[in-house]
Structure 1
C-alpha cells in the first residue's frame, strides 16, 4: 500500500468557486456544507461559490471556508478508503489536519477557526500591521536585518519559513516598509508585500492567544489517530494536551513549513496530497525536494487523477 501524507492549505488559498464541483456531484459533501452553514450562521456556501472575493478573503470568512473546503475533499477521500500516514497544515490548515486525525470534530473545528479568525482580526488594529514575502535571502541575514528594525521600536518577526529561498516576515506596517528596503539592500532578490489584514504569526498576535486558549479549553480535544506535524515545532504530535498548547502558541509563532516537509520526507512518503483548495503547498514541497511526488485534490477531476495513481499497482 502506498504511503501518503496529507497537507492542508491555509489563508491565501481561498477563491470564488471553491468546492462547488464537489458539492454538485457528491451528496455527502452537500450535507457537510449545508450543516456547516447552520453551525457558522453565515452564508458560507454563497461566499465560497459566488463571492464576492473581497468578502470571502476576510479572515473570519476565509478560515472556515478553507477548513470546509478541505473537509469536503476529505469526505470523498475517506469514502475511497484512503487514510494518510501523517498530516500537516499551513497555519489555519493545522486545524484541518487535526480534524482529519480525529483530534477535533468537524463542528468544533469550524467553530474554532471562525472564532480564531475573529480574534486575529481584532488583535491588532486593521491596516496597522502587514506581512511580506522575502525571496532569495538566507534566514540569518533576514533575522539580523529585522532585529535592527525592532531595536528602533518597530516590531518585525519571521512568520513563515515556507521553503528554501522563501521566508515571510510579519509586523507593524512601518516596520515592514522599512524591512522591504533594508532587505533589498542586503541582497534579497525580491520582497513582496502580502495582501493580508494583519501581522499574523508575529508577537503582535499574542493578545489573541489568551482568548483562543479559553476557547480551546471548552473544546473536547482527543489524542490524534496519527501524527500531525505541528507548525510551532515541525515535529509530530498526537497528545491532546500538547495539541492544545501548540495551537495557542501557533498564533504568534512562525510556521516552520520547510522543516516540517523535510522531517516528513524522512518517513519514506510516496506522495504528498494537498487536500483542499489550491496548489500552493504542492509548489512549496517541490522547492524543498524537487522530485517529490505531489497531488492536489480540490475537485472531482483532481481527485480522479490522484486515485488513478493511488490504485495502480505499485
Structure 2
C-alpha cells in the first residue's frame, strides 16, 4: 500500500487498531472531522473581498466541519456545499481566466471579476462550480410581464406552463455558484489527524508515516530483561530529560495524585504565560491526548501520548522512592 495522507474508511482496520465503531463514536460526538474526495470542474478561486479570480478543475480532498462529518457518516445523508476548503492545492494545474466568459452575465454574486494566475500553495476556501444559474427574481418578473402583455393583447395566458418554466428552465440567467453534492461514499480520513487525536500508537505501522521518530519511547514493561540492565542511575534532582523534570515538579506539589489529575494540572499550566511546572517553556502544545515538545536547541520535535506520560510518571515515582 502506498503512503498517502487520506484514506477510505474501509481502510481503517488495515492501518490502525481502531474499529469503525471507534471512529463513529468520535464523529458522532463531534470530536473529530473527516474529509471528502471531490472531482469537478470550474470551481471558483475567490478573494477575501469576494472577487472571482478565476476557475480551476480539482480532483482531491476538501475539509469538512464536525457537523458535516456527522451527517455524512452517522446519518448516511448527502450534503450540498457552496464553499469548499481545498486541502490539496498541489493537485490544481492552473487557474483559468473567466472574465470574458462571464462578461455579459448579470453578476450579483461576486464583487467583481478579476484574474490571478498563481495557484495557492496552502489550504484555501473556494466556491462550487461557477457559471450560469437561474435568476429567480428576474425570471418571475419576466413571466409576470409576459402574462400582462398577453392579457392586454387578448391572447391566451398559459399560467401553468409559464410558472413551470421558473423551475425547469428559468428564462433569465445570472452568474452564480452551483452547489456541490457530497455523498457518504466520498468520505475520507486524514491519517495525520487520526494519529493526533488518538495518539500515534493507534497506528499499526506509525513509522510509515513519520511518527516513530517523533514519538517519545515507551517505558519498557517489567517483563523485559532490559529492566535489570540499568546502570549509573540519575539522581532525581539531577534529572536532565525535560518532561521528567516537569513530572518531578508536579510530584513535589502532588506526591500522591493520579496520572490523569497531573495531566490536567499540566495542561492548565501550559496555558499560562508564566508557567509553574514547565518553567523552561519546553512544551509547545498539549491536548487531551498528547504533548508536543522540543528537544535540545528546539531542533527536534517529539510527541508524547498520554499512555507514555502515564508510564514515565510511574517510573519517576519509583525512582523517587528509591532515594
| Higher-RCO chain (CA-CA 8 Å, sequence separation at least 6) | 1
Q: Same fold per TM (> 0.5)?
A: no
Give the structure with the larger helix fraction: 1
**TM-score, normalising length: structure 2:** 0.22
TM-score with structure 1 setting the length: 0.23
Give 1 or 2 for the bigger CA radius of gyration: 2
